[in-house]
Amino acid sequence: MNWKTARKYFWLPGARLQKVRAWMVPRLIYRFTRMLMMTVRFTTSGLERGLPIVDEPQERGAIFITWHDLTLPILHTFRHKNIGVIVSPSRWGKIQASVAGFYGWPATWGTTRKQAGIQALRDVVRLLRTGQSFAFACDGPRGPRHQSQVGVVFMASRAPAVVMPLGVAISAAWQLPTWDRYLIPKPFSRVHLHIGEAMEVPKGLAREEMEEWRCRIEAELVRAQEAAQGELDRKMARYFAAPPTQ
């Protein structure tokens, strides 16, 4: 039985595994990833830009952005910081919401369907205005991979909210056979997380201006990703260049 066949059987509506899946799978995923992350060596840069936002009460929230395949190290790094996520009410989305909840990330239900998707964005805008921060995968939930969508611009402009790009570099990882090629750091690998410069999106952008800002945000996220990779490469070079201890 290959991966696709096993997955198809596992998601069959009304299958005997349904109740087991709903209760057990999120817990297994959380415990596995939590133990795995404990073996990973994390380093950071630019964290002073983001932590005051989530550690102290704010008049307005922030939107932390990254790519869909890099979310696991971010879930671990910012666990129990009360940063919200938007999750689809699908079967897999409910599992994702449970796993995020174990890491201390509250979920707001959303979907890619037009009308419900607009309502979800409005709910997030309302929460941003109360000081709740959110993390958002710019290319999710269905891609294209590493191509930002306009939803983050809409939220940042309507709230308004500051946008914080998050770059993540991983020295060694497993890559899942999913549309986003989701990355899971291997045991004892190194991860560097970089928070780029905050972006102030103008309030009340017109529809024709949103595409320009979508490109700007995507470019800043690419820069944050390049900065994270550069920092990790330098640390790895120093590590391997260091003389052996006697």
Q: What is the pLDDT along the chain (246 residues), one digit of tens a residue?
A: 455 555 555 555 555 566 667 778 889 999 999 999 999 999 999 988 877 777 777 788 899 999 999 999 999 999 998 899 988 777 778 888 899 999 999 988 876 555 556 777 888 899 999 989 999 999 877 779 999 988 899 999 999 999 999 999 999 999 999 999 999 999 999 999 999 999 999 998 988 899 999 999 999 999 999 999 999 999 999 888 856 555
Per-residue model confidence (pLDDT) at position 116: 58
Give the number of other Cβ atoms within 10 Å of residue 165's Cβ: 29
Candidates 160, 107, 173; CA nearest to 135 is 107
Do residues 125 and 155 touch, judged by C-beta distance below 8 A?
yes
Per-residue model confidence (pLDDT) at position 51: 73
Cα–chain center distance at 138: 9
Per-residue model confidence (pLDDT) at position 1: 47
The span from the CA of 174 to the CA of 194, in Å, is 21
Candidates 203, 165, 194, 209; CA nearest to 63 is 165
Per-residue model confidence (pLDDT) at position 141: 75
Per-residue model confidence (pLDDT) at position 53: 75
- Write out the two tokens for 106: 């509250």
Per-residue model confidence (pLDDT) at position 209: 92
Per-residue model confidence (pLDDT) at position 243: 61
Per-residue model confidence (pLDDT) at position 76: 95
Which residue has 């989701």 as its token pair?
182
Domains defined along the chain, listed by start: 24-31+41-240 (3.40.1130.10)
199-200 and 162-170 beta bridge pairing: antiparallel
Give the number of other Cβ atoms within 10 Å of residue 15's Cβ: 12
| DSSP string over 37-73 | HHHSEEEEESHHHHHHHHHS--SS-EEEEE-GGGHHH
Per-residue model confidence (pLDDT) at position 166: 96
